[in-house]
Every structure is written in structure tokens, then in C-alpha cells.
């Protein structure tokens, strides 16, 4: 078999039976197999860390696999002002409760956007992980990051490495002292939908010492049961302990929900769960 690569990007293969196969691989666009994984586009707290995020140089395919979008210079967008084109300008898309003012204790999703008529690439913050409100004439988008505001509507400090986002200080999510023995309950995490959450769990029997304690963590709707102790994340104490702590991961659903359960055959139990960070799978899987 002979393979020839022409200057135009045409690959021809002459197979033993004489068949000629040709494909245009220029930028992979005609084959529809462009690499979706963002290159660069790393988000970080900027000088005004409470309100600004800087997006590094890089590029990615848009969510419809139609165009390549890229930043040739670092782009900083403010979360405390309505969207305006350009570096160091506002980024809110209007999904906030009061225009131009971020909501407190809210996940904001960072979208890279482009207008096809001019090729200008920018970014915005939206409370929607699936459909941001696009500025006039902007018709391409791609989800590239996510940040969380605190009770004062300030961005929580974070570090991003690839698809992983790590909160500088873990976020307390569950503090449940009304446990029902071996009964799964729902918990909601401060992470994007359909991501792998990096969590820290603690279960404590608060009234009975030297009691075996079990903690179960699983994806919402998963078939794991207490009898088989087969939850996706399972940990127990020895026979003479009454408290357990463990870090692990769990996949959340489209509503950012997972399930947890504790045994408390004797005494009264408390479950505490904090979010350490998350792997934002939707950055690489549109």
C-alpha cells in the first residue's frame, strides 16, 4: 500500500487491490474529527481576585464542532458588571437576578464566545451551564470553566489545572444530623452538572462510642445498596471506632445531585461533606 500526502492536505492511499482512497485532512474540519479538548484557556483569579477572572491564551473548537475559537492574548472579564466586549470589561450575560450584579452563593459558568461576522472572540459569565444569553451577533460558544460566588457575591479563590478546578478552601455542603439509618439521601454540591466532584466526607456517631460507623456515597440513582456495602465510595470504622473521614470522588447528575447514607444502628449520627474541587468533564466533552 502506498500513501501520498499532497500539499493541499489530501491523503491518498493505493491499497493492494487497486482501490484509491482520498481524504482532505486540512485542519481535520472536513472529516468532522477536530479535537474538542481546549488548549490553554486556563482560568485564574486576576488582580481583583474577588471579581475578575483571567483566561489564558489558547483555543478550542466550538460546541457545535463548526469553528475553531482562539485567544491570542490573556482576556480578563469582570463578574461585577454587565457584559461588554473586550479585556477588563464586564462579563455578566443577564441571567443574574439584577442586571450587572452577580448573585451570591451561585455557580457561574465561563463561556468562550465568537461572532462569525468579524471573528472577534470574547467570554462571558452565565448562570446557565447549557444556554448562556449571547450578546448581539455572537453565534458560537463553548463552556470552558466555572466559578462559585460566596455569600457576598465574591468569586471564591481557586486554581485550575487542565479540567480540574480546586477551591483554595473546601466548600462545606452537607451537615446532616438528622440521619435515618441506612437510608440514602440527596445532597447537592457546588460544582457544575455532570462533573466528577472531589469531596471530603465525615461520619460521626455523636452519642454512642465504640460503635461501627458506615458511610456510603454514590451517583444519584445508582443501584448500590447498603446490604452489599457496594456503594461507589464506601468506608467504615473498626469495631471500636465511632468516627470516619475520607476523601474521594463522585459523579453528580445534571442537577448537581449525589446520594449519601450512614449507618447508625445505635446512637445518633452526623454526616458532613465538603467539596474540595471538581473535574469539569464538559470542557472536553461538549
Domain coverage including residue 21: 1-33
Q: What is the pLDDT of residue 225?
A: 72
**Residues 102 and 200 placed together within one structural domain of the fold:** no
Average pLDDT for 251-256: 96
Give the rounded distance of the alpha carbon of 162 from its chain centre.
11
Task: Identify the CATH number of the domain in which residue 273 sits.
Answer: 2.60.120
Q: Are residues 120 and 228 in the same domain?
A: no
Same domain, 44 and 141: yes
pLDDT at 23: 40
pLDDT tops 80 at residue 9: no
Q: Is the same domain home to 14 and 51?
A: no
- Burial class of residue 84 (count of CB atoms within 10 Å of its CB; 0-12, 13-18, 19+): middle
* 90-99, 153-162, 187-196, 262-271: the lowest-pLDDT one: 262-271
Examine the fold and report which residue of 162, 188, 206 is the final residue of a domain before the chain moves on: 162
Please count the structural domains in the chain.
Answer: 3
Do 70 and 96 reside in the same domain of the chain?
A: yes
Same domain, 54 and 149: yes
Residue 267: pLDDT band (50, 70, 90) is low
Amino acid at each position: 500500500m502506498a500513501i501520498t500526502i499532497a500539499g493541499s492536505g489530501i491523503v491518498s492511499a493505493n491499497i493492494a487491490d487497486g482501490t484509491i482512497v482520498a481524504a482532505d485532512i486540512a485542519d481535520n474540519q472536513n472529516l468532522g474529527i477536530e479535537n474538542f479538548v481546549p488548549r490553554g484557556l486556563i482560568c485564574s483569579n486576576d488582580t481583583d481576585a474577588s471579581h475578575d477572572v483571567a483566561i489564558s491564551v489558547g483555543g478550542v473548537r466550538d460546541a457545535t464542532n463548526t469553528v475553531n475559537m482562539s485567544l491570542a492574548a490573556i482576556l480578563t472579564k469582570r463578574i461585577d458588571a454587565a457584559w461588554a466586549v473586550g479585556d477588563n470589561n464586564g462579563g455578566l450575560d443577564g441571567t443574574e437576578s439584577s442586571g450587572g450584579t452577580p448573585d451570591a452563593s451561585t455557580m457561574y459558568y465561563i463561556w468562550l464566545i465568537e461572532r462569525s461576522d468579524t471573528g472577534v472572540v470574547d467570554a462571558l459569565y452565565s448562570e446557565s451551564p447549557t444556554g448562556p444569553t449571547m450578546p448581539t451577533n455572537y453565534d458560537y460558544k463553548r463552556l470552558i470553566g466555572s466559578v462559585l460566588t460566596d455569600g457576598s457575591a465574591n468569586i471564591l479563590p481557586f486554581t485550575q489545572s487542565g479540567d480540574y478546578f480546586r477551591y483554595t478552601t473546601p466548600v462545606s455542603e452537607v451537615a446532616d444530623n438528622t440521619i435515618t439509618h441506612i437510608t440514602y439521601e440527596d445532597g447537592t454540591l457546588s460544582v457544575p452538572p455532570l462533573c466528577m466532584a472531589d469531596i471530603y466526607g465525615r461520619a460521626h456517631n455523636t452519642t454512642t462510642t465504640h460503635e461501627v460507623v458506615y458511610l456510603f456515597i454514590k451517583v444519584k440513582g445508582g443501584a448500590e445498596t447498603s446490604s452489599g456495602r457496594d456503594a461507589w465510595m464506601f468506608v467504615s470504622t473498626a469495631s471500636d471506632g465511632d468516627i470516619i473521614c475520607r476523601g474521594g470522588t463522585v459523579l453528580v447528575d445534571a442537577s448537581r445531585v449525589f446520594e449519601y447514607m450512614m449507618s447508625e444502628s445505635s446512637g445518633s449520627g452526623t454526616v458532613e461533606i465538603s467539596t474540595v474541587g471538581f473535574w469539569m468533564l464538559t470542557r472536553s466533552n461538549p
